[in-house]
Amino acid sequence: MSAAPLLEVRDLRVHYGAIEALRGVSLEVAAGEVVALIGANGAGKSTTLRAISRMIRATAGSVRLDGEELLRLPPHRLVARGLAHAPEGRGIFLDLSVGENLALGAWLRRDRAGVAADRARMHDLFPILAERRDQPAGTLSGGEQQMLAVARALMSRPRLLLLDEPSLGLAPQVVERIFGVLREVNRAGVALLLVEQNAHQALRLAHRALVLETGEVAMRGTGPELLASPEVRRAYLGE
């Protein structure tokens, strides 16, 4: 991990009308690090990711990637800076084929050989996508669509990948597969900022984690520290 953070978020605030959804969230993600955000529904986890990726407008604060302020940039410029976002609900193009969805993930790239190599790597990571490359994405199961969403985001060769609820509604064996791939992707050098309701899986994967409560950071620590915390175990691990 580098000394300077890859992503630096300071005092991030977001309003939905009169409601303040984020109340000064600050966090950092180092190059090659996994940081998890856990918390109850409505705590502000997804809002944090959407504000970072400019899907929604922050009302105050700073978001810097490698020192460059992102809140001044339009959302479509962020991919070229090395940031990708696999949002909650997958966001894939259901009428396009699996292969076309992957191609769109590499839309800004001009290294044809590299794109072909990354497509082959996605097929290695998610073999079902190779089998179904010509099928419309809308015919895939929920787990397969989630694999496609992650693979499409990775096709942009991000330095930082934002992931919002990658295990939501999936069978346990599919969850294990996706988290296994995320470990492999992280070992290859991609930093991850992960929002995940499955707190046990998230904390096992994370180097560091934050607990959000009503739009504020309530706790911080390493993944193992929060896994061992009685408060976290009682509130989020059902123990």
Greatest Cα pair distance in the chain: 51
Integer-rounded Cα radius of gyration of the chain: 17
How many of the other CB atoms lie within 10 Å of CB of 209?
Answer: 27
Burial bucket for residue 128 (CB in 10 Å: 0-12, 13-18, 19+): middle
Residue type, 185: V
For residue 2, pLDDT over 50 is answered with no
Residue type, 56: I
Both structure tokens of 208: 């560091």
- The architecture (CATH level 2) of 1-82+160-239 comes to 3-Layer(aba) Sandwich (3.40)
pLDDT tens digits for range 41-100: 999 999 999 999 999 999 999 999 999 999 999 988 999 999 999 988 778 999 999 999
For residue 172, pLDDT over 70 is answered with yes
pLDDT tens digits for range 189-217: 999 999 998 999 999 999 999 999 999 99
Q: What does the pLDDT read at residue 3?
A: 64
Q: What does the pLDDT read at residue 215?
A: 97
CA of residue 48 relative to chain centroid, distance: 11
Location of structure tokens 């959302």: 75
Question: What does the domain layout of the chain look like in residue ranges?
Answer: 1-82+160-239, 93-157
In angstroms, the Cα distances linking 150 to 9, 146, 155 are 23, 6, 9
pLDDT tens digits for range 121-161: 999 999 999 999 999 999 999 889 999 999 999 999 999 99
Q: What does the pLDDT read at residue 91?
A: 83
Q: What does the pLDDT read at residue 79?
A: 95
Q: What does the pLDDT read at residue 88?
A: 81
Q: What does the pLDDT read at residue 1?
A: 46
Q: What does the pLDDT read at residue 75?
A: 87
Cα–Cα distance measured from residue 214 to residue 55, given in angstroms and rounded to the nearest whole number: 20
